[in-house]
Chains A and B, each alone.
Chain A
Amino acid sequence: MASVPRSFLLLSIIPTILILCADFACCNTGRKTGDGLDTDFSGFSVPLEHSFEVDDVSRFRMRGALQLRGGRETSVSLSQSQLSEEDRNTLKEVAAVDGLYKIRVPRVSLTDRQTERQMDGYLTAFVRACSLVESHLSDVITLHTDVSGYLIGVSIVTIPGACRGTEVEDEVDLEAFNTTLTIIVPTNAPQPETALFIERMDIEHEKRGKPQEQKSFFAKYWMYIVPLVLFLMMSGAQDQSGGGAANGGGR
């Protein structure tokens, strides 16, 4: 049993796994600045801000710019600059007191072509500053949209995600973000699979061959019933005459 290849297991799951419609975008580090991006396409850019303070009061600053492109193929890319010396120190300090590193993006719509793309308010997410430091600024930012293309949520995780208290010695590790950026649109929940089921049933029926026609009771057992009835009739007639005779005899 244990020798069953793993791919087999996967195969059996795949049909039912919902494939997350994750449209991947590029992961852009600060070294490749955003001047190479297509600006002529219908994309637009929104600021990605972050905040990390020792006293945990949010003061959001620019981290980079999200280049969003709506339409059929939603895509997103990020251009961000390096962390300054001062920021690096603050981040380390925040990590030391187990503070939070927060990011926010404004609420926008990816599909709305009108000017009213932006709504008031922000979408906020956080991660522990220590895990960001310990992962050497490798974070995964995910943007979630709803069915009509509004941005509804943002999330940030670091890989690895744990805080083990390891010191980050090398300053270079904290200079540039190594960001993976994805956009997730809602998946369509499945409908009941009636068509497939019926098809399968049909195949099964065919495989089993034509089921025997249901014969009526009489058609099945006529060879027993007819003699029995005949026999009864005969004996009944005999009985009647015999009974009459007995009656007569009794008188």
Chain B
Amino acid sequence: MKPPAKMSKPTSLFVIFFSLFVMSEAVFEDQVGKFDWRQQYVGKTLFAHFDSHSQSSKKLFLATDKNIFASFNSRTGELFWRHVDKAGPEGTIDILLLHGQDALMVVGGGRLLRSWDTNMGGLNWEAVLDTGSFQAACFVAMQDTVKHVAVLKKAAISLHYLTNGHQKWVENLPDSDTVQYQAVYSGGEEEVYVLGVVPNSHLTIIAYSLEDGEIIKQRSVEAPWLSSVESSCVVVGHGVLMCVDTATLALYALPIQAEEAPQFNQILLQSLDLEVSPGFQPVLVSSQPHPARSPISEFFLQLGPDHHVLLQLNADGYTIAPLRDFQPAFLVSFSTTGEKTVAAVMTPKNETACAINLFSADSGRRLLDTTVIFPLDLNGGKPFKLYVHAFLKKDDSVGYRVLVQTQDHALTFIQQPGRVVWTREEALADVVTMEMVDLPLTGTQAELEGEFGKKADGLFPMVLKRLSSQVILLQAWLAHLWKLFYEARKPHGQVKNEVTIETLSRDEFNLQKMMVMVTASGKLFGIDSKSGSILWKHYLENVQPNAVFKLIVQRTTAHFPHPPQCTLLIKDKDTGLASLHVFNPIFGRKSHIAPPALPRPILQSLLLPVIDQDYAKVLLLVDDQYKVTAFPSTKNVLQQLQEMASSIFFYLIRSDQGNLSGFRLRKDLSTERIWEVVLPTEVQKIVAVNGKRPNEHVHSQGRVMGDRSVLYKYLNPNLLAVVTESTDAHPERAFVGVFLVDGVTGRIIHEAVQRKARGPVHFVHSENWVVYEYWNTKSRRNEFSVLELFEGTELYNSTVFSSLDRPHLPQVLQQTYIFPSPITTMEATLTEKGITSRHLLVGLPSGAILSLPKMFLDPRRPEVVTEHSREENLIPYAPEMPIRTEWFINYNQTVARVKGIYTAPSGLESTCLVVAYGLDIYQTRVYPSKQFDVLKDDYDYVLISSVLFALFFATMISKRLAQVKLLNRAWR
């Protein structure tokens, strides 16, 4: 240890000294992207438009459910730009309209109207709309030029200039308390039509003058069968409203602009020889290629899940002619280029592919050479939506590109002739939970390992086997050397070889792992942590949108020849019913092991350290009758459970009742309640409970203090940190409670109350400390608090820790600091042996990930510097926690809306693997104590070896010389 030299100027110098000594760990410029990668996502597509402004444009515009407006390069699938709006309903994108270079967007349930420049992605203007929930919007054209946009709200309609967003006029809608206004239509005339409906009574049509918003005419049409304009009506041809009704099985046509009292014209589907699939709600699809002109008179009618009909409205505006019947056909879409409108239809081809064909809209004829094959991924979702971009080729024929959205939120872009240009897995924008699994050994290593797995065949075959496997190893090593030698001559950049699922193997220091990610949509991904490439994916159908997931690694890769095994617990949040998905995390394949049926709601799952004969850890599932199901439940496991039953304890938390209770397993796998703690819900509610990570190692049992005595840590593996928030939200009386409860005995080890504080509370519980962050309501700032538990200078029982035999309460030290930024998530680094000092990884709302040394969060930081504290390397207390930009581990690679940080140890003690996920995914390595076990990149091997050799020869020569000299002296 460096003794700090005469330090009479205590604080400031000391802090500077430390900052220099401990942390200088920003990346160098040439290290950017070497150990880290980032992937940016946008989420589930709600609206997609192709840039049809110019023929050669490569842009694609998307608005998503994550409140993002983004532009993609349609040739590569890369992001041009992305605007991330506020999360939640405040930033919801209600509609995206595209015209020329302007993209119009209504945001936040009709709160704002925005216009974006599609070229650069800049904001043209933003207009605040009057209150009222958004219904519909459309462009309004006058004399063939689009100059306005109309926005329909629940009780008002307003017209805005496209150039600056200024409001031209706003009018209240008549009888808006009875009439539900749902659609707005403009066909390029002087009027804007608003359609409203009184369900099962009549339809209201109001025509507004474009100039001043005056009501030109108002009509009411009897429509007792109509309940919603939005879901069952479209406008086709020259302003004809076309509706479909399930009850009467008929189409209804109505000219909107008619002068006299209009009537719906009923056309029975039977008269067109059409039949609706039982239980299916028919859907109409129409197209208005240009806002200045009326929609085309052809439209699709969907009669069943895979049955579409192309219909044409005749010139008289009352009769309909069927053009073509498409069955089977999943998806249809219109697209227009120049004067031609085409219809794209997706039909199933075989098990693994779908075909997309183009048809001329006005005749229904198939266009030649327009077939494109869309490969169906068996591990993906079904096609969900089709976005088609048609263009005129040089020979005046129609070419097209298709964007297919599937149920698992993936986007696939296909170009003629049938080539998948790119695929984006947008499900990854919402990662729920993840694990990192070691990669399997290489074939040769596995060969060597396999020797131990098998039972002995006798001495001689064993020797032979050993020899042969070592020959194989030697071969592999020689091949590796040759490869190294061969590749050394190539320039460095070209050596990178593609990672495929077949070539996966563990590297020397176990730095490359498989990231198993579970997304909210129910799609699982296996991602190579080194390159970020997706190696496998598996879509779980029938996953409820409100499902909660828990990913459990039951068997790691360490037990060759048994494959690793992960189990995903999928639980319905409302009913509590759960199901298990068992799979191999390296290949993503579903395991053949049948998971147990779980007929009752599951309250708790716990992974026991007990392993079955196949080295899989046992998972216990507790149902609402406190009965326990074991998985795997072989005889061996049940026997072990019976033997260990009296030492298996678990806890349940019912935060709605404020109830924490502990149970003990009985021999017959029933349970017995043994303790109960109740936090009255009138005072405080439990917001989070966190135990410690089971794979965490603590290297040192205590801390050596300045006087060379040891302060032992209180390392209770069963300790739970329970965080509560007061129900009283008044800033003076609000508080955050922190309870440390022993999960076995239910003993409250410590109980602290942070006054004048409220959540959201983020906290990390590890080793012998808990760090939590809260909002101070009095000082209006974020604060960090750290609690550390010590047994004292003597250990009660140094050999083993038992919650049942630890009568003395630990000493608790606590300190609080001001943190200059709000945070979104927090995690602690984790290393193989726990020797490396710990850092806290803090996700900030700005997208930066701060690596905060735990040293700064140490309740023993002295207020007055003494000899001892200096000896111990304690930083003097300063109330404010610094944020240094060089602590941002992701430099400029910000992770938008970071939701969670996952840390995993690597084979190198100094290195911890970090994955931050949210909207984006960012993977990197951190070295909390710098790379103490790795030689630097620029380590001078030549110098060291030449010095060694020189010294060696110098010793040899001087030895010889000394001998000669001695001999000479002896002769003298």
Please give the residue numbers on chain A whose beta carbons come within 8 Å of chain B beta carbons, in ascending order. 1-2, 4, 6, 8-9, 12-13, 15-18, 20, 56, 98, 100, 102, 104, 107, 119, 121-128, 131, 140, 142, 144, 146-148, 150, 152-153, 155, 157-163, 184-194, 196-197, 200-201, 204, 208
Q: How many residues of B contact A (CB 8 A)?
A: 67
List B residues 637-659 near A (Cβ within 8 Å).
646
Smallest beta-carbon distance A117→chain B, Å: 13
Choose among B683, B706, B776, B864 the residue that contacts A147 (Cβ–Cβ < 8 A): B683
When chains A and B are docked, how far (Å) is the Cα of A185 from the Cα of B676? 18
Q: Is the CB of B666 within 8 A of A56?
A: yes
Extra A-B contacts (19), CB below 8 Å, given A18-B814, A20-B809, A147-B737:
A9-B868, A12-B868, A13-B860, A16-B815, A122-B676, A123-B678, A124-B673, A125-B675, A125-B745, A146-B737, A153-B678, A162-B805, A184-B748, A187-B752, A189-B814, A190-B815, A193-B863, A200-B864, A208-B9
Is B879 at the interface (CB under 8 A from chain A)? Answer: yes
When chains A and B are docked, how far (Å) is the Cα of A107 from the Cα of B679? 10
Is B11 at the interface (CB under 8 A from chain A)? Answer: yes
Q: Is the CB of A121 within 8 A of B678?
A: yes
Q: Is the CB of A155 within 8 A of B859?
A: no
On whether A187 and B866 interact (CB within 8 A), knowing A131-B804, A155-B746, the answer reads: no
Q: Is the CB of B805 within 8 A of A197?
A: no
Q: Is the CB of B678 within 8 A of A152?
A: yes
When chains A and B are docked, how far (Å) is the Cα of A204 from the Cα of B661? 52
List B residues 847-897 near A (Cβ within 8 Å).
859-860, 862-864, 866, 868-869, 877-880
Smallest beta-carbon distance A86→chain B, Å: 23
**CB neighbours of A121 from chain B (8 A):** 676, 678
Is B816 at the interface (CB under 8 A from chain A)? Answer: yes
CB-based nearest A residue for B806: A161
Choose among A12, A17, A127, A187 the residue that contacts B811 (Cβ–Cβ < 8 A): A17
Q: Is the CB of B676 within 8 A of A124?
A: yes
Q: Is the CB of A18 within 8 A of B813?
A: yes
**CB neighbours of A147 from chain B (8 A):** 683-684, 735, 737, 753
Q: Is the CB of B677 within 8 A of A153?
A: yes
Q: Closest 10 CB pairs between A and B? A: A155-B747, A153-B677, A161-B805, A192-B879, A157-B807, A4-B707, A161-B807, A189-B754, A124-B676, A186-B751
**CB neighbours of B806 from chain A (8 A):** 157, 161
Q: Is the CB of A204 within 8 A of B10?
A: yes
When chains A and B are docked, how far (Å) is the Cα of A12 from the Cα of B865? 10
Q: Is the CB of A152 within 8 A of B817?
A: no
29 residue pairs A–B, Cβ–Cβ below 8 Å: A8-B868, A9-B705, A9-B709, A9-B793, A12-B862, A13-B811, A17-B812, A17-B813, A18-B812, A18-B813, A56-B666, A102-B674, A124-B674, A126-B746, A144-B748, A148-B680, A150-B683, A152-B677, A153-B747, A158-B807, A162-B797, A186-B737, A186-B751, A188-B753, A188-B755, A189-B738, A189-B785, A192-B783, A200-B11
**CB neighbours of B812 from chain A (8 A):** 17-18, 20, 187
When chains A and B are docked, how far (Å) is the Cα of A199 from the Cα of B866? 18
List B residues 739-763 near A (Cβ within 8 Å).
741, 745-748, 750-755
**CB neighbours of B785 from chain A (8 A):** 189-190
Is B708 at the interface (CB under 8 A from chain A)? Answer: yes
When chains A and B are docked, how far (Å) is the Cα of A42 from the Cα of B17? 59
A-B contact count (CB 8 A): 176
When chains A and B are docked, how far (Å) is the Cα of A201 from the Cα of B864? 11
Smallest beta-carbon distance A169→chain B, Å: 23
Is B672 at the interface (CB under 8 A from chain A)? Answer: yes
Smallest beta-carbon distance A123→chain B, Å: 6
**CB neighbours of A104 from chain B (8 A):** 676
On whether A193 and B877 interact (CB within 8 A), knowing A146-B679, A152-B678, the answer reads: yes
CB-based nearest A residue for B859: A16
Smallest beta-carbon distance A167→chain B, Å: 19
Contact pattern, B 943-960, Cβ under 8 Å of A = 1, otherwise 0: 000000000000000000
When chains A and B are docked, how far (Å) is the Cα of A189 from the Cα of B869? 23
A104, A125, A152, A208: most-surrounded residue (chain B CB, <10 A): A152
CB-based nearest B residue for A201: B11
CB-based nearest A residue for B804: A128
A119, A121, A125, A163: most-surrounded residue (chain B CB, <10 A): A125
B664, B751, B811: most-surrounded residue (chain A CB, <10 A): B751
**CB neighbours of B751 from chain A (8 A):** 144, 146, 184-187
Q: Is the CB of B680 within 8 A of A119?
A: yes
Is B818 at the interface (CB under 8 A from chain A)? Answer: yes
When chains A and B are docked, how far (Å) is the Cα of A12 from the Cα of B859? 12
Q: Is the CB of B678 within 8 A of A125?
A: no
When chains A and B are docked, how far (Å) is the Cα of A152 from the Cα of B753? 14
On whether A150 and B680 interact (CB within 8 A), knowing A16-B813, A124-B673, A190-B815, the answer reads: yes
Q: Is the CB of A155 within 8 A of B877?
A: no
List B residues 805-850 near A (Cβ within 8 Å).
805-807, 809, 811-818
**CB neighbours of B741 from chain A (8 A):** 153
When chains A and B are docked, how far (Å) is the Cα of A1 from the Cα of B249? 96
Smallest beta-carbon distance B10→chain A, Å: 7
**CB neighbours of A153 from chain B (8 A):** 677-678, 741, 746-748
Smallest beta-carbon distance B645→chain A, Å: 11
**CB neighbours of B880 from chain A (8 A):** 192
List B residues 684-705 near A (Cβ within 8 Å).
684, 705
Choose among B738, B747, B752 the residue that contacts A125 (Cβ–Cβ < 8 A): B747
CB-based nearest B residue for A147: B753
Contact pattern, B 794-805, Cβ under 8 Å of A = 1, otherwise 0: 000100000011
When chains A and B are docked, how far (Å) is the Cα of A1 from the Cα of B707? 6
Q: Is the CB of A16 within 8 A of B860?
A: yes
